[in-house]
Amino acid sequence: MRTAVAVPLAVLFLSCTTASASARAGGLDAVVELSADRLATASPVAAAKWHSGDPVDAPEREAQVLADAGRHASALGMEPTAVTAMARDQIEANKVVQRSLHARWHADPGRSPASAPDLSRVRAELDRLTPALVRALDGAGPVLRSPRCEADLARSARDVAGARRLDRTHAAALTRALASVCSRPAAGP
């Protein structure tokens, strides 16, 4: 009888531990997945700017994205400064990819994109991703302040980079996009 009870308790303990670890990582996984989705917009943005001659830096657009992230954070009761820092990292990561692509195309114009994507559509996707990222940060909650946050975030970033077969530039940019996720509390006062 004792053995029969011990096995189900062990199974219950392991399943609770696994569920807890999965919930912790799940919040971070959502942040990483959405960050990778946002980073996927870098190539079409780079192509549009290549054809228009616009610079990679777009201060007015960046300010709008940062303000939107801060508003979404405030609406969820989160610390806007921390969320704005994360949004800044997302923008800078996107620009890493854009600059890399522009450098490649300058070096080898024959490999540059033949046509320009509609930048307004790409920006609409970015506008959809910003509040989704803020919600994902909110959903990650206390995991962001846990001692395991950085290790779990790095693991998730490696997994996503591998699953999506990101090249070195995109993988490095994904790491850049996540730089402040664990370094600041996401919860408000």
Domains, in order of start, for the chain: 24-177 (1.20.59.10)
* pLDDT tops 90 at residue 189: no
**Contact partners, residue 66, CB within 8 Å, separation at least 6:** 84, 87, 88, 91
Determine phi and psi for 111, rounding to 5 degrees: -100, 5
Q: What single-letter amino acid sits at 22?
A: S
The pLDDT of residue 27 is: 83
Task: Using the CB atoms, write b or e for 101-128: b if 16+ within 10 Å.
Answer: bbeebeeeeeebeeeebebeebbeebee
2-6, 100-104, 132-136: the lowest-pLDDT one: 2-6
In this prediction, residue 142 has a pLDDT band, given cuts at 50, 70 and 90, of: confident
Q: What is the pTM of this model?
A: 0.82
Pairwise CA distance, residues 79 & 73, whole Å:
6
Confidence grade of residue 17 (pLDDT, cut at 50, 70, 90): very low
Q: Would you tell me how many other CB atoms lie within 10 Å of the CB of residue 26?
A: 16
Tell me what the mean pLDDT of segment 61-87 comes to: 95
Given this model, what pLDDT does residue 22 score? 36
Phi, psi at residue 187, to the nearest 5°?
-80, 150
Backbone angles phi, psi at 113, to 5 degrees: -65, 140
pLDDT score of 26? 56
Residue range 13-18: average pLDDT?
32
Is residue 25's pLDDT more than 50? no
User: Percentage of residues in the chain with pLDDT exceeding 90?
Assistant: 78
Average pLDDT for 38-61: 96
Model pLDDT, residue 135: 95
Q: Within 10 Å of residue 149's Cβ, how many Cβ atoms? A: 19
Q: Is the dihedral of CA 100, 35, 152, 76 positive or negative?
A: positive
Over range 76-105, report the average pLDDT: 96
